[in-house]
Chains A and B, each alone.
Chain A
């Protein structure tokens, strides 16, 4: 890499932190479409980390699969079902009665 080593470390730390936050947001998000978008953001952060770790082969596969296909696959699946996650069955039952 052209970057000197400490700058590279700071950027890696920054993007990993960003990925961690987005992973947490993906886990707690109840709206599944939003969760998929957070997950794609996490994939972008990982892509940047792989770039900094000088692994361009991995980046090319990860961009296409992690950001493009994975996101699209989940959006297709969500479009065939409901886009909300329920904590328990009682809540779901209440929705159906209305």
Chain B
């Protein structure tokens, strides 16, 4: 590349940089490190963890998770089911493929990559689980934790080969079972208050989290663990986060395992596994 081209490239980059800076700093495009929040943001920040207005709160200091699983919980349930059917649709394509674990072999990368991957493979699921289990306290949640977990299985597939996961029992049926278990837990948690309300003759809603003055059934938000003292679990949020974590991590891992199967196996087909 000639010097002139490099100069032109740097110049163009600087011009774009200056233009973007001007646009942002003159408030032509408003970006949110601003002094005061808009009314919608203020409303959610004030009500999500406000114990003095318990008719509107969701008992969770993490406002994003409150909105996702409480204020607009039904939307998230539908998103999860759409994702489930996408995975089912992908599985339909390979429904007749019989996988022979002995033929998958130990194809993978060099010893260095394998060793490093084995170390990282321990830490990524830990991070994923903490992101999912603290989803009602800190940024994160079930989907984020699940997708971080899926990156771990992806690393294992690329560096250690699909056979590595298969020999450890990550079969199609078992992963699909975990996926379905997550969805069943979500269904039970969102329907429980509604059914309990029907049983005792009080008002109860689908995806209801805390009690309301006109709908007295809720999940509560504190649990006493003896020596550990009171622990905040934010009602249904923690159960929904764990279930979503199970569903997303198993579903995405399954999708990656199927994509990484040898091409000959996919073409040959075979009996239903």
Contacts and interface: CB of A to CB of B under 8 A. Distances in A.
B109 interface: no
A63 B20 CA distance: 24
A32 interface: no
B31 interface: yes
Contacts of A6: 25
Contacts of A92: none
B259 interface: yes
B17 A57 contact: no
A57 B144 contact: yes
Given A9-B21, A9-B25, A64-B147, A21 B13 contact: yes
Contact of B151 (A1, A57, A69): A69
Interface residues of A, number: 30
Given A65-B147, A69-B154, A80-B263, A13 B141 contact: no
Given A13-B17, A65-B147, A57 B141 contact: yes
B64 interface: yes
A60 B13 contact: no
Interface of B: 13, 16-17, 20-21, 24-25, 31-33, 64-65, 131, 139-141, 143-144, 147-148, 150-151, 154, 158, 252, 256, 259-260, 263
B21 A10 contact: yes
A20 B12 CA distance: 12
Given A9-B25, A69-B252, A72-B158, A64 B144 contact: yes
A64 B151 contact: yes
Contacts, number: 71
Interface majority SS (helix, strand, loop, mixed), chain A: helix
A73 B258 CA distance: 11
A30 to B, nearest CB: 17
B86 to A, nearest CB: 13
Interface in A8-31: 8-10, 12-14, 16-17, 20-21
Nearest to B25: A9
B140 A57 contact: yes
Contacts of A60: 131, 139-140, 144, 148
Interface of A: 1, 5-6, 8-10, 12-14, 16-17, 20-21, 52-54, 56-57, 59-61, 63-65, 68-69, 72-73, 76, 80
B144 A9 contact: no
Contacts of B32: 53-54
Given A12-B24, A13-B20, A61 B64 contact: no
Nearest to B127: A60
A9 B31 contact: yes
Nearest to A20: B16
Contacts of B259: 73, 76
B273 to A, nearest CB: 21
A54 B263 CA distance: 43
B21 A13 contact: yes
B23 to A, nearest CB: 8
